[in-house]
Structure 1
Amino acid sequence: MGSLSKLLTYSCYELGHTWHPNCYHACFEISLLTFIESCKIYGVVYLVSALIRGKRISPEYGKKLLSDFLRSACFLTTNGFLYIGFFCVIRNILQHVNVITASFLPAFFASLTAVMIERPERRSLLAIYVTNVASECVWNSLLSRGIVRSVPRGEVYIFMAAMAVLGYSFRSTNPLSPSLNSILQLFVGPGESGAVVANTAASQMSREPQVDTTRQTRQNSWISALTSVLWSRHSLCPHRGSCLLNTSWGVCCLCRWIRGKDEASHGTLAGAVAGMAMYFYSAPSIALYLLWKTFEALYDDGCKSGKLPRIPGSVIIMYSISTAYLFHMAALEQYNLKPSYWRFLQRLTWGRMGEYNRYLLDEFGLGSSRNFDGVWPKYKEGFISESFKAKLASHIHAAS
């Protein structure tokens, strides 16, 4: 049984960059590989983005696109290069590796430096993405230790909660996030947007004549109400056609008929009901991402209203901590890391992330070598210590 307080005295080569004994060469190799892959990744991202926007390719736009592309590629390259660099520097200063410096601390400093290179408007997007992945890994880690229990279809409840908040925001005249509001309009149309509903209701009230008492009495009977729901629309509804057809997209019409008024709170119920769609198509990553975007919108709204303090550099810190945790998981608890993110790290480093000697990290008692099939990296004999040679020999003997 290992201990998290253990100090490992192995060299950088023996533990970390096992593909080459020289620290400088290993860092240069990683920087070259990550730059090649970064160009491939961001080349596709920026090309697709340009096509979607449908902008005419002018010399000025092309120059900006190339600048943004190179900046993003350099950001990702720096993240990979400095991860190895800081690992070597910290190990040489301390002359040992502990559970924090094995991966988390080098990754934190690397991410903190690298994200400053990326464009400011992309930092929030990156922070939300890695925090989303990191939160999923935290849950997996707690689950594997028996600290929490699995919640059947938990993503449905998460998605419903996020959609309830966003539904209220969408029906409000002052939405939390214009970007999220625009996305919701793509699915439910602009007609149910709070501002549109308010304007429609005001214009209709100004031009609709007063109804007589006899008709009002008929409207109050349940038969007339049912008939109206089937074949007409409520006077407060902004949509066209009958409310029955429109209700198939949400429940705001139904709330108007039941309560006789229109409120933003109807969007809360409509959003929660819409969130139940996650039951038919399970996507935990989407549910978590939407939850974090909702938290971001709520926090930003609280800061604008003066109810919450705006923390300087919070986006950068959130990105750095989340990325550092993901690299920590990749090194020490790869089995709890999201598979897609592990494949991304492997692709970015051309498999070098998988060459970390996790059998040495087993001394921390986290089962780091799980999923690595008992195969040790191939070392150059002249660059490893005598004590490590003995350990390697005992491993080979035990395996045989």
Structure 2
Amino acid sequence: MNKNARCYFVMSTLFTLLIIAVVVNIDLLFWIVLCAFLLVVAIFFFRRFKNGFQLAEEDNYLDNMLKMPTRFSYKDLKNITKNFSNKLGEGGFGSVCQGTLPTGSEVAVKHLFYVGPINKSFISEVQTIGNLNHFNLVSLVGFCAEKFNRFIVYEFMVNGSLDQWIFKTNQQLALGWQVRKKIILDIAKGLAYLHEDCNQKIIHLDIKPQNILLDVNFNAKISDFGLSKLIERDQSQVITRMRGTPGYMAPEWLSSVITEKVDVYSFGIVVLEILCGRQNIDESQLDENRHLLELFRRYQEEGKLLDLVDECNGDMHSNATEVMEMMKVVASCLQTEHANRPSMSSLVKLFEGSVDVVINMDEDSQNELTLEVEVESLASTVADSVLSGPR
């Protein structure tokens, strides 16, 4: 029950008690209930007035923000989406509908389920991605902040989110190794740009398959910057409240002191899911197999990592050498000591084969893998024909 619903419930209950008190003529109860009723009414109207004042202030703030993308009206978005009829998906954040701009361009319209004044995550997302321009980051077309309606308009990605492809059991739809490898490189490039090539360092904080979108050629683009954190380039770390998705959060979150290496850890989990074709936390599995990361550690000690590789596409096992080398990269990203995790730019160089990259490992790490990766095999060229879809 949301705040408004709770308020209405309390008011109706007090009003009922007030009527009862009048009918049975209980003086003391009457005055107690009347005072409580008037207090609730006053609080309710004060909040409405306060929210209305905040909305006016925030509308003015958004109108005066520099370098902002297009601001749509609620009526515009109703027309663009044909009254929000073509729903692409729905989650805890809200729903996403497909729409078409007057220019003919396809867009995805995300409706945020929030019934108060504009919150920080909305402004963060609009400000952050609105000023970014990179091929591996989804483009923000515009936004809507009208009364209590909150929408973000993105470029439309034909093939949806990554989770819809890597967690499938249908062999006809399973992605081949070359496509998966290209997706991994794309994610790394997008994160490297956020961490090192922007005016301010941007930590995404919610890297997961649901936030990786795929275009018609299966190029991967990072989306959803609602939890992102901007820090100055000379800052080595930042203190912030815990945020992100369970299963993708680095261990240092327990101290709330984080660096961009929390994204590297999340990247490692996502790559592990891409290689294994299953979620890190899978409630459908037996207890001992429910957590993919624990399974990875166990199989690593037993020398059976290849048994974890996705079997929905035979191409994965046909490229077992490269897949196992990528497993070594996963191990480096998931180290407990964040300082020992590689930077995203070094991983991009590793994948592209431009330089040899030395990756340090925790002294007390359980990993017995030697990270002498053959960069030539990881950096093999992906033919355009491979990227036309799964095989």
- What band does the TM-score fall into relative to the shorter chain? under 0.3
Higher helix share: 1
Higher strand share: 2
TM-score between the two structures when normalised by the length of structure 2: 0.23
Which is greater in Rg? Answer: 1
